[in-house]
Amino acid sequence: MEKRILLVDDEAPILNMMTRAFTRAGYDVATAQSAEQALEMIKTYKYMVFFLDLNLPGMNGIDLCRIIRRDNPLTIVFAVTGYANTFEVFECRQAGFEDYFTKPVDIQQLIDAAERAFDKLARWKREK
């Protein structure tokens, strides 16, 4: 299974840092700076693991997650945000996020989450 991740964040420095870290860890990384851009990219490539900022211009990350999960329920989506509150965590669970990370986050936690996600996807594929 190709280990391709889509990172969605409107802050270019964060995207650059995450891209470098995931690339060094052996992942193929694509990036988008808005939910709308991510949705266009999803039309041409089937991503299985996503890391979404929640506070995006235009459509927010929670609504993007709902669309991603509606169209492909076997994807694994993680929330990454600078703002954390109990209601938001609850809303993330309802939207279909696998887990929730608060910025600043230890990049190794994200890499470990991606590895677990691809392991889970591989198990699902074998069980079919």
Helix, strand, or coil here: 42?
Answer: helix
The tokens of 2 are what?
């190709």
Domain housing 58:
4-127
Strand partners, 102: 81
Is the distance from CB of 10 to CB of 33 less than 8 angstroms? yes
At residue 123, what are phi and psi to the nearest 5 degrees? -65, -45
**The total number of structural domains that make up the chain:** 1
CA dist list (Å): 89 to 56, 59, 95, 101: 16, 18, 10, 10
| pLDDT tens by residue, 19-70 | 999 999 999 999 999 999 999 999 999 999 999 999 999 999 999 999 999 9
Query: According to the model, what pLDDT value does residue 86 have?
Result: 67
| 108-120: average pLDDT | 97
Q: Could you tell me the CATH number of the domain that includes residue 80?
A: 3.40.50.2300
CA dist list (Å): 78 to 18, 123, 127: 13, 19, 23
| pLDDT tens by residue, 71-113 | 999 999 999 988 766 667 888 889 999 999 988 889 999 999 9
Query: According to the model, what pLDDT value does residue 116 have?
Result: 97
Task: Give the whole-angstrom CA distance, residue 5 versus residue 29.
Answer: 5
